Structure 1
Amino acid sequence: MATEQARDAERDAILAALTPVVDGIAATFGPLCDVVLHDYRNPEKSVVAVAGSITGRTVGGAMSEIGMRVLARGDEAADELNYVTRTRNGTLLKSSTMVLRDSAGAVFGALCVNVDISAVSQAHSLLGALAGAGAAPAEPPTTTFGNDIDSVVDALVDAHRSKQRGSWAELDRAERLELFGGLDARGVFAVRGAVEQVAARLGISRASAYHYLAQARAAHDTSTGGTA
């Protein structure tokens, strides 16, 4: 079995080989595209190469909520191809996230391609209206692309809270567990210090946050037939 040091060397070599690919893909698609290479061994600074500026990423920046979702799924994570999302400033993107694996099959990073399709979408809507097409497609979800992990975690907490009624104090136990379970499923708690950050965002103690996280995980294990 390969040592962890050997596995890290292999992963470093894969990232090094893909770095010029980042520039090549971005050059092919032009200014409406950006390509980001992530090393998930360091979630807070996962961006190791970037070309283009659509999502405003920089080398040394943090993973997005999409990366957190990959982390949450671990080695079960799969490629997510040609999905549509929207940045917080309204730019409509068609994106693909391709997970990176070492020779043992362990997921350790991702290569992400984002293409700005705002103009294409507007043209499509106009042509559809002229042709008498039906209702507009559903609004795509908004994805937070931030260069610091705190802003991404905060955005996810706020998004989950917006789906519920009122403040933390107004939530019943089931709703509190749903909030923590939802954040856990999105990979938020795979980030170092996220429990403390979520607690501060909700205005609760660190101990309460850990309690609800443990209860949410236990409820999930029970519902899926696992063990707590």
Structure 2
Amino acid sequence: MDRTLDAERDAILAAMTPVVDGIAATFGPVCEVVLHDYRAPEKSVVAVAGSVTGRTVGGAMSEIGMRVLAGGDEAGDELNYVTRTRGGGLVKSSTMVLRDSTGAVFGALCVNLDIGAVGAAHRLLGALVGADTVPAEVPTTTFGNDIDSVVDALVEAHRSKQRGSWAELDRAERLELFGGLDARGVFAVRGAVEQVAGRLGISRASAYSYLSQARAAHDTPGGSA
């Protein structure tokens, strides 16, 4: 890594740190702002203000960060998306990527708003006027301070969509599992292949083989992972 470029990225993160506190102070206790340095995915949180998802400095990126990593320098901002924490809380978030002077993505500024109270008020008002206020189904996101819990949650989420244990899956289903995890950015994290192998009860060599095959299928015209 070019030291000048590294210094530039450090300077951008340092300049963004007061912004983290400023945004959180503006929106109050329902707001959490997290600054990420994706050069170290396992401890990407370099600044945090507020407490909506329980993030702490030195904590790992979430699966949203993994998705950004998977997008590489083509990744874009993701604004005003709604997700649910594993504890059931409803959160509206925006993730804005940080780029250096070369255009390379190296971090992100994330804003999380706890909209659970707003949703409760909305349902109450809807009940009073007789409106249908059943909330739409929203995805559950794992916000963890250690990368292992995030990877485990993603593996479990993909496995739950399939028909059984690893031994019961056919080759296409196994490739789909690895392709899905790869698309979510799981394997951008150091040691993730070994962790996924352990989670599935297969050898490290088998995990690398399925990942390679899934990527080859994805890159083949007409193929899919």
| TM norm structure 1 | 0.95
SS in 2 for 1:82: strand
Measured after TM superposition, the shift of residue 217 of structure 1 is 0.3
Mean Cα deviation higher: 119-128 or 61-70: 119-128
Counterpart selection for 1:181 from 179, 182, 186: 179
Could you report, residue by residue, the CA deviation over 1:163-203 in whole angstroms, capped at 9, with x for unpaired residues?
11110001111111110000000000000000000000000
Aligned partner of 2:84: which letter? R
Aligned to 2:24: 26
Counterpart Cα distance in 2 of 1:219 and 1:197 = 23
Over the matched positions of the two proteins, sequence identity in percent amounts to: 86
SS in 2 for 1:57: coil
SS in 1 for 2:54: coil
Counterpart Cα distance in 2 of 1:51 and 1:223 = 45
Measured after TM superposition, the shift of residue 123 of structure 1 is 1.6
Mean Cα deviation higher: 129-138 or 97-106: 129-138
SS in 1 for 2:110: strand
Measured after TM superposition, the shift of residue 131 of structure 1 is 2.7
SS in 1 for 2:48: strand
Counterpart Cα distance in 1 of 2:22 and 2:117 = 23
Counterpart Cα distance in 1 of 2:131 and 2:5 = 53
Measured after TM superposition, the shift of residue 126 of structure 1 is 2.4
RMSD over equivalenced CA pairs, Å: 1.5
CA contact (8 A) 2:123 2:133 kept: no
Measured after TM superposition, the shift of residue 137 of structure 1 is 3.6
Do structure 1's residue 83 and structure 2's residue 88 form an aligned pair?
A: no
Aligned to 2:211: 213
Do structure 1's residue 197 and structure 2's residue 195 form an aligned pair?
A: yes
Could you report, residue by residue, the CA deviation over 1:89-131 in whole angstroms, capped at 9, with x for unpaired residues?
1110010000000011100000000000001111212222333
Aligned to 2:33: 35
Aligned to 1:130: 128
Counterpart selection for 1:102 from 100, 103, 114: 100
Counterpart Cα distance in 2 of 1:223 and 1:202 = 29
Aligned to 1:5: 3
Aligned to 2:139: 141
Counterpart Cα distance in 2 of 1:135 and 1:22 = 33
Measured after TM superposition, the shift of residue 57 of structure 1 is 0.7
Task: Provide structure 1 residue ranges, at least 5 long, that are not aligned to the other structure.
Answer: none
SS in 2 for 1:136: coil
SS in 2 for 1:217: helix
CA contact (8 A) 2:122 2:133 kept: no
Aligned to 1:63: 61
Counterpart Cα distance in 1 of 2:161 and 2:167 = 15
| TM norm structure 2 | 0.96
Counterpart selection for 1:168 from 161, 166, 169: 166
Note closer, same or farther for the CA distance 1:224–1:191 as it changes in structure 2 (3 Å cut): farther
| Residue correspondences, number | 224
Measured after TM superposition, the shift of residue 223 of structure 1 is 3.8
CA contact (8 A) 2:60 2:145 kept: yes
Aligned partner of 1:49: which letter? A
After TM superposition, where is structure 1 displaced by more than 3 Å over at least 4 residues in a row?
Answer: none
SS in 1 for 2:67: helix
